[in-house]
Structure 1
Amino acid sequence: MNARYFKYTAWCLFFLIILVLTPQTNAQSVDELKNQITSKNSEIAQLEKEIAEYQKKIAATKGQSSTLNAELARLESSKKKLETDVALTRKKISATELTIKKLGSEIATSASKIETNHLAVAAALREMKDADTFNFTVAFLSNDTLSDFLNDYATLESFRGKLEAQILELKKTKTTYEKQKSESEEEKLALTSLQSKLADQRQIVTQNQSEKSVLLSQTKAQEASYQQLLADRIAKKNAVEAEIRKAEDALNLIVNPGSLPATGRGVIKWPFDKVVVTQYFGNTPFATANAQIYKGAGHNGIDLAAAVGTPVKAVLDGTVIGVGDTDLTCPRASYGRWVMVRHNNGLSSVYGHLSLPKVVEGQTVKTGDIVAYSGNTGYTTGPHLHFTLLATQGSQIGSLQSKVPGCGVYRIPLATKEAVLNPLSYL
């Protein structure tokens, strides 16, 4: 066979050997990482089941009578649920770290394959260029038989086809490489978010433990003391609400109906992914049956069931105009920790009874951004989110000097009666 074709065939063998061996470089380590990720995901699924069970137990306590034992049982279930939240987030962090490691290994394999194949393709193209300039008449005369010549020619054409296919495969590998890099960056962002969430959850666990300690200290583990504590809270709540209503009646704010968006579904989004309304807006049966709490004023928002530590999301784009905590100066009498967001369509939203706000005043938020975690602060009969929707023109944040014993100056959202809207008209 002609020496030139012998050289060409040698290049062909070299090229094919590289293509066969290169992709297997990190196959074993990637498979091991995939198995570890699958194991972590199984553990995550089990923890999610445990959290669902704790949430059922917490929800079951809502209809129970207000006794010290029932409250301690609720706090214990909340504690276990929150601790499982922490364990779940840790598992998710571990799984995400493994995914990033797997993607890193795959990216390295793809990059190596691209580089090696690029060199092989370049060398083969150079060889083909030389072959293309070779005089086939000379090649025919150089071979002993017609069969030898045809075999060399067939080898050349076969290799052309293989080379074209490999160039196409190289392009696909580059596309995969870019996708893997993008996925890796997304996973890194997810990891940062999970690490932040873990820190938040630890803080909420500490709050839960503190709440139980304070309760036991205040009641000395005596039912009679607990019932007196509840009665005192209701009395304080009524006095504080009276002060707030007086301040709101004095507001000199006018709401132009034309400033409000038309009512209809989807104007705003729900603050939770999973929604259970436990009390509606206005003179609800609960508000009517508990005149000692609402004094005939009705419920100025809606209550949504939520275990302590549930992420609360912004219902619409807007700007945070207030973050406060009435418990600092007037414990267990009003909103507790709250956040107020002003939207660009004439509406403002208020989120109350939070465990941990996650925004600051002046911050811009997008629909679905986490603004806080739900809780059980302020005056409540159990963990939930109190969600209020207001006409921006008829609302503001005020600082009130309370005359109620045990209370001081506190900041709170205020609104005229006309400015208090039914959230369900816009959800």
Structure 2
Amino acid sequence: MLILTLTFPSLVFATSEDDLQEQIEAKQKEVGKINEEIAQTQGQISNLQGTAKTLQGAIGQIDTGIKQATLGIQSSEVNIEKLTLEIESLGYKVDEVGEEVQRKQSQVADLLRTVQRRDKYGFLTSILGSDTLAQGLAEFNALKALQDNISKEAVNLSHLQEDLKGTIDVSSDKKSQLEVEVINLESRKVILDDQRGQKAELLTQTKNQEGVYQNLLGDLEAQQQALLDEISDIESQLSKNFDRSSVPTHQSGYLAWPVTSSGQKTGVITQNYGETAYSSRFYKGRPHNGMDIGAPTGTEVRAGADGTVVRVDYNGLYYQYGRYVLIDHGNGLSTLYAHLSGATAKAGDTVKKGSLIGYVGNTGFATGPHLHFGLYATPSAGWHTSTNREQGGLFSVPPASGLVPIGVTLNPAQYL
């Protein structure tokens, strides 16, 4: 009678793997502390809104932005260390599970060869060829036990292969996150330099004197109001003549939430689309043409949907949209991401839903760090330089530098 006993060792990780897990947990706690500090600075910025009416208040806002950018750099550095450790830990698991898969495959193959040898002459021949009926039945039972064992171990092997694939997928995702975090780190260093440059420029312009600042502020507010009036007049006229059936109907989930941190949705809506309390006060009752999402300087901004980047531009530190990215989604809709502190996307880039395109900032006409998220009906002629107020497009609207996107605006909330 054939008796076969199989033993399968359990997966046991080395001590170094335990050490890795401790280090990963420590880094996770460190990231959590930094994120708490960033959240606190965002609260400070909320409290500072409106204080830019004085030079001291404006400097205070910039200083808080510098602190946010510094913390963002620290967060990226620790995240890079954490992700590197996680990838190393997953590498251990991939190796261990891979070796176990190979052992299982070898054992199943041995079982199959044994069955083939025992079943070489067929069941009936084996029974008749035995010295006694009892021996023949024992041979049959041994063969059946082998076949049952093969079935069981084949299932175990399948589960191990699924586990291996899942671990490899997680490792691949961590590597992608690491690549993004390296980009974040370098971008946030540039953002920090820009913040420091803004402070130095403001102090130079005002000679650190409140009176000089008030004169500059008065000129700026008058210029920006004239700019807003011109843009609002064009967009209002375009909306009156617009056929709403020419764009996709409201579709919940079409657009992804555009502000993320470590892959998770973050940010809060600070102003909705349309007529708001803020717009009635600061826009002379004109409706707000987008959705504002408050978040710390340097927070990731992601593409709302698949599309092509048609414009990356800069309207100036204090005018209109500041630094922005404009994406045409190819279905009659386009999205605008404005007031950015930095942009990773370039004109002509093809982006996927959720692709990193830039970072939340405070450039342009903004009272604090946030993303202005705009949704447009793509102009019939596309996003080209235009002077035709009946068509929309990219307009030169001094004193804003670069080109300003102007067109029929829609409510982003109806597509999120």
Q: TM class, shorter-chain normalised?
A: 0.7 to 0.9
Structure-2 residue corresponding to 1:74: 61
User: Alpha-carbon deviation of 1:160?
Assistant: 7.8
- For residue 335 of structure 1, the aligned residue among 298, 321, 327 is 321
- For residue 395 of structure 1, the aligned residue among 384, 392, 407 is 392
Structure-1 residue corresponding to 2:332: 346
Residue 131 to residue 308, structure 1, CA distance change in 2 (3 Å): same
Structure-1 residue corresponding to 2:301: 312
TM-score, structure 2 as length reference: 0.78
Q: Which has the larger radius of gyration?
A: 1
* Number of aligned positions between the proteins: 394
Residue 112 to residue 220, structure 1, CA distance change in 2 (3 Å): same
Give structure 2 stretches of 5+ with no counterpart.
260-264, 380-390
Deviates more, 1:210-219 or 1:154-163: 154-163
Preserved CA contact (<8 Å) 2:90 2:171: yes
Task: Supply the distance in 1 between the matched residues of 2:173 and 2:143 (Cα, whole angstroms).
Answer: 45
Report the 3-state secondary structure (helix = DSSP H, G, I; strand = E; otherwise coil) of the residue aligned with 2:293.
Answer: strand
Q: Please show how residues 399-418 of structure 1 align to structure 2 within 5 Å.
A: 399-400=396-397, 402=398, 410-415=402-407
Structure-1 residue corresponding to 2:217: 230
Residue 138 to residue 197, structure 1, CA distance change in 2 (3 Å): same
Deviates more, 1:304-313 or 1:130-139: 130-139
Give structure 1 stretches of 5+ with no counterpart.
none
User: Alpha-carbon deviation of 1:301?
Assistant: 3.1
- For residue 185 of structure 1, the aligned residue among 142, 157, 172 is 172
Preserved CA contact (<8 Å) 1:278 1:304: yes
TM-score, structure 1 as length reference: 0.76
Give the structure with the larger helix fraction: 1
User: Alpha-carbon deviation of 1:340?
Assistant: 2.0
Report the 3-state secondary structure (helix = DSSP H, G, I; strand = E; otherwise coil) of the residue aligned with 1:410.
Answer: coil
Residue 194 to residue 238, structure 1, CA distance change in 2 (3 Å): same
RMSD of the TM alignment (CA)? 3.9
Task: Supply the distance in 2 between the matched residues of 1:72 and 1:53 (Cα, whole angstroms).
Answer: 18
User: Alpha-carbon deviation of 1:296?
Assistant: 5.5
Preserved CA contact (<8 Å) 1:255 1:391: no
- For residue 93 of structure 1, the aligned residue among 72, 80, 101 is 80
Q: Please show how residues 13-412 of structure 1 align to structure 2 within 5 Å.
A: 16=7, 19-20=8-9, 23=10, 26-64=13-51, 66-123=53-110, 126=113, 165-241=152-228, 255-263=242-250, 266=253, 268-272=255-259, 273-282=265-274, 284-290=276-282, 294=283, 297-327=286-316, 331-393=317-379, 394-400=391-397, 402=398, 410-412=402-404
Residue identity in the other structure for 1:37: I
Preserved CA contact (<8 Å) 2:46 2:368: no
Query: Which string of whole-angstrom CA distances, capped at 9 and with x for unpartnered residues, describes residues 241-282 of structure 1?
Result: 46656877999x963333134457556454333453333445
Query: Which string of whole-angstrom CA distances, capped at 9 and with x for unpartnered residues, describes residues 381-402 of structure 1?
Result: 22222233333234211245x4
Task: Supply the distance in 2 between the matched residues of 1:179 and 1:223 (Cα, whole angstroms).
Answer: 61
Residue 110 to residue 345, structure 1, CA distance change in 2 (3 Å): closer
Residue identity in the other structure for 2:298: G
Give identity over the alignment, percent.
31
Task: Supply the distance in 2 between the matched residues of 1:189 and 1:116 (Cα, whole angstroms).
Answer: 31
